[in-house]
Amino acid sequence: MTEYLIINTMVSLWALLTQHYLLCDARHQFTVLMIALFCWLLPFGWFQFQADVTVLTVAQPMVSQIKQPMVNLANSTSFDLSWLQILAILMTLGLLRFVFDLIQMHQQHQSFKATGQATDLTDVFTIKSLNNACVTGFKPSLIWIDEALYHSESQSAILAHEQQHIKNKDPYWLLLIVLMERLFWFNPLVWLLAQSSKNCIERRCDQACQKTMSQGEYQTQLAKTLLMMNKQNSKLTNYMSQNPNNIQRIQDLNKEYTMRIKQKFVLTITTLFTMAASFTVLADNVRPPIGENQILLDVKYSIDGSEVKALSLLVEDGKEASIKINEQMIVFNPQIIQPQFKEIEVDKVVIAEHALIPQIITTFEFSDGDKNTDLSRGAIISLNKQWAGIEIGQPDQKNSVSLELKATVADS
């Protein structure tokens, strides 16, 4: 869960900053934002990956410092439900809200069909007092335009914009964006990504229409349309295409779309940095394949109250394994306590045999590798795939050790 939050936060911030400062073409902005938005559906860090390695050391200190406060918060917060269960409940509530949205969209589409008047143009209808133009439906998608706007001199620009929505399949994209907004209604970064994506959809159509008209013509028609809309006061609105940044749309049309070499360079560097940081965070979840009679030890330890260090070690059952980190030599000797089978009896009839969870007893020894001096030693018993901890001495005393250990054996 920690890796999931860190990676998606980095990707979302990268997308928002890149879209605002580096990219000018709305098509590229939209692509970057949608990638970041749907990354929230990817289960980063929820599963462990296997790799053909024996010893895995700690991830970089910077990443550990970021992760540790979040891990401490998760461990110190007492809930009867796990974080994944809480997330599932929140997303289910959002999904129910999305179903309500679908019903609302369908009702609006049917209302438009009941009140709209057909025009000479295919799939184009006028509605009195709509004070807008929009697209609803999917197969086919229909264009709805205010009657006054349809008979204005801006008709061609307005219809070109709405037809561009259909060409880009924006009704489908907007549906997906609304779905993400509802599923992650508790996530402010998803909300920012969704709002920015909706704005990019409008500006993407504006830029496409601008290329088909003479210089400045589309901006002029758009400005006239907005003035006409502001003079009217209508209760009808388009549920999927509300856009408060209309003035910004006109200003953006006067900007240069082509990226400069400096912008491309910065974009490449930030992209590579974000990818590298994400892989670094995921490195903690890489695990070697566990063979028969092998035990994977995940260890977090601190000596004399120093910074917490972590490592993973693959050890043979009943055999010692040692690793030297800086000037410290650490020796582990784990041993599997084979589970016993317990009969489950109902009305004096044995209906099943139940194996208890395997236990692992691990002896450990910390020593000064150069001076061959023992610092601390002890033993800890843990259940398979579960953390156990031990404290030796007081944190402010010399040779004190704080140790957390998780032993994992292969599934039988």
**Residue 412: its pLDDT value, please?**
61
Q: Which two tokens stand for residue 219?
A: 């901006």
pLDDT tens for 354-396 read: 456 678 888 878 777 665 566 677 888 888 888 888 888 776 6
pLDDT at 40 over 80: yes
Phi, psi (rounded to 5 degrees) for 262: -60, -40
pLDDT tens, 321-355?
Answer: 888 776 778 888 888 887 665 555 555 555 455 45
Share of the chain above pLDDT 90, in %: 29
Residue 242 predicted with pLDDT over 50: no
Distance of alpha carbon 70 from alpha carbon 76, whole angstroms: 10
Crossing angle for the helix pair 217-231 and 155-167, nearest 10 degrees?
Answer: 100
In this predicted model, what pLDDT tens digit does every residue of 146-164 receive, in sequence order?
998 899 888 999 999 999 9
What is the per-residue pLDDT for 75?
A: 46
Q: Are strands 55-57 and 373-383 parallel, antiparallel or unpaired?
A: unpaired
Taking the C-alpha atoms of residue 195 and residue 33, their distance in angstroms, rounded to an integer, is 10
Round the average pLDDT of the chain to a whole number and report it.
79
pTM for this one? 0.65
> What is the reported pLDDT for 111?
93
Least confidently predicted of 30-44, 257-271, 363-377: 363-377
pLDDT at 136 over 90: yes
Contact yes or no for 288/50 (Cβ under 8 A): yes
Of 9-13, 152-156, 194-198, 249-253, least confident by mean pLDDT is 249-253
Q: What number of CA atoms fall less than 13 Å from residue 39's CA on the CB side?
A: 27
